[in-house]
Chains A and B, each alone.
Chain A
Amino acid sequence: MRYTEGEPIRDTKAPEGPIEDRWEKRKFGAKLVNPANKRKLNVIVIGTGLAGGSAAATLGELGYNVTSFCYQDSPRRAHSIAAQGGINAAKNYRGDGDSIYRLFYDTVKGGDFRARESNVYRLAQVSVNIIDQAVAQGVPFAREYGGLLDTRSFGGAQVSRTFYARGQTGQQLLLGAYQALERQIAAGTVKMHTRHEMLDLIVADGRARGVIVRDMVTGEIERHLADAVVLASGGYGNVFFLSTNAKGCNTTAIWRAHRRGAMFANPCYTQIHPTCIPVSGEYQSKLTLMSESLRNDGRVWVPVKGGDDRPVSQIPEDERDYYLERIYPAFGNLVPRDIASRAAKNVCDEGRGVGPGGLGVYLDFADAIKRLGRDAVEKKYGNLFEMYERITGEDPYTQPMRIYPAVHYTMGGLWVDYDLQSTIPGLFVIGEANFSDHGANRLGASALMQGLADGYFVLPTTIGDYLANGPYGEVDEEAVAEAEVAVREKINRLLSNNGTRTADSYHRELGKLMWEYCGMERTEESLRKALERIPELREEFWKNVKVSGEADELNQALERAGRVADFFDLAELMCIDALHRTESCGGHFRAESQDADGEALRDDEHFAYVAAWEYGEQGPVLHKEDLDYEYVKMSQRSYK
């Protein structure tokens, strides 16, 4: 295979000792910055989603001089806004046996033992403060008649610990962070640059010292310098072209940083979400997720017989296979995402799928409507039902929805230590952009939790430890100029290419390839095929892509082409990572590694590590970070 192995890597920042005390210990051990000095310290934050928005607001409030960037026209539009289902917190408001320890336990187990115990424990601890913070900001979470906060259970959890704001939890949480951010902008502690895209990281004397950005309106290439850089640029699921991510989601910020020396961890860990609206045609530009909360009341089924294309009303009860309830009686329709996704794929592969092309399964509310009444169902899920009807033109109150798995979240990302610092000193990575606390699989309602934990509580403490040794002085002009030239060259190259295909058409082809060969189910053979095809396609892209317009204007074709170029490089690394990990775990299913029942078979003996990849001109270099489990005993996950 085309990679080499380097020295193991280790997180040296997590303190030793009882897990409950580690975060307190780290906070106490972190150096503090004198309030008068904070004003002299400059921090750049890329991204204004839950992670970046909350981080920039908090750092501004602490008194640092913050400069923030996003590619949208307003920070309020970051992709986090689309999150529907909810956010977990170990509040135990229901008294149903939840605790910090249980949330920690569930998350480590749900992550298939590929996340760090110390980090996950801290996440569970901080989760409690997130809800307090959001409520104080005026986030209108759902409430009970008594005025207290309502919670619900969510995929993979047996306690009711998910806080929600109808089906728009992400929007409400993001507005909270955005408002806090706007408050700091007004106070002058944060300078906001909207419609700006980060195109490179400036590394000088071994430290991250700034970024090169493009003003997306004027096309001007700008340099911004700082004492530390925070990347909160979100996930890279759009490498698959079709995904539940917003159209602009990209990998450019973290990929450029990777090329400058930040290691990329577990790139192949992709989460496939089981409840999305199936693809309807070639022109499709994105997939829409139906909140997983629907599985609380909706029952998933397919016809018992393959090729049964009778209308739903004519399929009698005993000819329906409620396969999740049948195979996983303990969890039923609430099994975790990876399990539900694969089960859907399996029944479709057996020829029992429904809808166009047989790529769909039913999510049926008939029983819930009978039991609770249409009104109650409408109250709970009304906006989701409406969305479904809008997109498909079908009425989910009178016929079951059709759903199919889709790419949703990327657990991989830049490697960070307990302080959220990457392998480049001064470069911090938060939210979905880092390799995160989720392991090989993310449980529902935990990404919002992680983004806000990182942004409001963790980073503002740990970055101080780094900044306490600053300001870091003048930045070497050569490093800045070099990064700027690299950016300009790439833009010129794209624009001067007079080819015959659009960037989107290449992106679509790359996406199909990734879905087929590096998607829900992978084999050595499929991955090798992908690794053959991707470099060819990339070469073709660089020779034959056509980008219209000029560099010094608003040019959406150019923006897209630049992102697609980075997706090609990332896709290759994803396949190499997937190929080397010959075990199945979490959202990553290697067909060669399954048990007698066809369930994912992990290989803890050989793969209980984080794969951190270093960029190398001669191909990637693998550094392993071994994972130890002191508190949660490694065991095969079973939801049966």
Chain B
Amino acid sequence: MNLTLRVWRQKSPEDKGRMVTYRVEDVSPDMSFLEMLDVLNERLILEGDDPVAFDHDCREGICGMCGMVINGVAHGEQVATTTCQLHMRHFEDNAVITIEPWRAAPFPVVKDLVVDRSAFDRIIQAGGFVSVPAGSAPDAHSLPVKKVDADAAFDAATCIGCGACVAACPNGSASLFTAAKITHLSLLPQGQPERDSRARAMVEQMDAEGFGGCTNTGECTAVCPKGIPLDTIAQMNRDYLKASK
């Protein structure tokens, strides 16, 4: 298939950035979206142009590193799919595809499609952990966890920290990401001692980073590649309210 790409090019954080149009030919439907960009980049390098910078690593939908807005949708229109797992068979021949970076004030553009998501790490630093020094843990069977709780905690824990939820949210809220972590730990007995301080600290850090508030528009779950549900946000709000009393 042959495609026309409109790609956001921005040399540096200071640069204003603009859309540039490229034509790519002989794209196989079995290629992933990133492989299609690889093909474009190989050509750009040989022409002495700057290849399009984008983040990626695992290319199996698990590291959370890739991410771009494709035709206006974070990670593209395919449901529950990261950009690296999106395949070209979902596009029409001769389609025009618009590709932009995540756009949110707390995720400044570094170059082209690469953004800085370190705000997420700082939210985790605020309390997204259980304080347990290595070597002092009790036998794992000393603390049974109901299967339903373990499964629910797991569902929340599958968040890959990609930031699509933020990019999709009209308010630029990081609620889904933060809620996923809070929910994961608050469903487990291990997470209880720090449950209140964690919820407070993580929510406050999220605000301090400049993420917007949540108004329940649900755009986040619609694009989330891991299907993190909106209930986690309700859980976060409950935990936060209880902790702030």
Contact = CB atoms under 8 A, between A and B. Distances in A.
Nearest to B205: A186
Contact of B35 (A54, A143, A284): A284
Given A183-B131, A393-B87, A457-B135, A283 B45 contact: no
A554 B111 contact: yes
A82 interface: yes
Contacts of A147: 144-147, 150
Contacts of B87: 390-391, 393
Interface of B: 11-12, 28, 30-32, 34-35, 38-39, 41-42, 44-46, 48-51, 53, 55-65, 81, 85, 87, 89, 110-111, 114, 116-118, 120-121, 124-126, 128-135, 137-141, 143-147, 150-151, 153-154, 157-158, 160-161, 184-185, 188, 190-191
B38 A285 contact: yes
Nearest to A248: B57
B50 A246 contact: no
A553 B57 contact: no
A61 B139 CA distance: 21
A607 B139 CA distance: 41
A295 interface: no
Contact of B63 (A72, A136, A179, A186): A72
Interface residues of A, number: 81
A185 interface: yes
A180 B128 CA distance: 9
Contacts of B184: 138, 140
Given A286-B59, A390-B87, A548-B44, A138 B153 contact: yes
A179 B128 contact: yes
A395 to B, nearest CB: 14
Contacts of B89: 393
A138 B191 contact: yes
Given A72-B65, A132-B138, A138-B188, A82 B58 contact: yes
25 contacts: A73-B55, A74-B120, A75-B121, A82-B62, A129-B137, A134-B140, A135-B143, A138-B188, A138-B191, A140-B157, A143-B150, A145-B147, A168-B158, A179-B130, A194-B118, A246-B57, A246-B63, A285-B32, A285-B34, A391-B32, A393-B30, A393-B87, A457-B135, A548-B48, A548-B51
A74 B51 contact: no
A178 B157 CA distance: 13
A474 B39 CA distance: 48
Contacts of A246: 57-59, 63
Contact of B126 (A129, A166, A186, A286): A186
B111 to A, nearest CB: 4
Given A77-B65, A183-B129, A283-B35, A135 B30 contact: no
A76 interface: yes
A504 B38 contact: yes
Q: Which 9 A-B pairs have the closest CB atoms?
A: A147-B144, A179-B129, A136-B137, A132-B137, A186-B125, A140-B154, A135-B140, A143-B150, A77-B63
B85 A142 contact: no
Interface in A181-212: 182-183, 185-186, 192, 194
A91 interface: yes
A238 to B, nearest CB: 11
A180 B131 CA distance: 7
Nearest to B120: A74
A182 B110 contact: no
B53 A554 contact: yes
A526 interface: no
A138 B130 contact: yes
A448 B179 CA distance: 28
B162 to A, nearest CB: 10
Contacts of B116: 73
B141 A149 contact: yes
A291 to B, nearest CB: 11
Contacts of A285: 32, 34-35, 38, 59
B129 A247 contact: no
Given A73-B117, A194-B118, 4 more contacts: A77-B58, A136-B190, A180-B132, A246-B59
A144 B151 CA distance: 10
A280 interface: yes
Given A77-B63, A138-B188, A387-B60, A171 B158 contact: yes
B75 to A, nearest CB: 13
Interface in A462-513: 500-502, 504-505
A54 B137 CA distance: 15
Contacts of A132: 137-140
Which of B42, B117, B120 has the most A CB atoms < 10 Å from its CB? B42
Contacts of A135: 137, 140, 143, 190
A138 B137 contact: no
A460 B41 CA distance: 43
Nearest to A356: B30
Nearest to B139: A132
Contacts of A93: 141
A556 B139 CA distance: 45
A636 interface: no
Given A74-B118, A548-B48, A553 B35 contact: no
Contacts of A73: 55, 65, 116-118
Interface in A143-158: 143-149
B132 to A, nearest CB: 4
A504 B116 CA distance: 26
A429 interface: no
B137 A133 contact: yes
A301 interface: no
Given A137-B190, A179-B128, A77 B145 contact: no
Contacts of B188: 138, 140
Contacts of B41: 557
B111 A72 contact: no
Given A73-B116, A81-B58, A166-B154, A133 B134 contact: yes
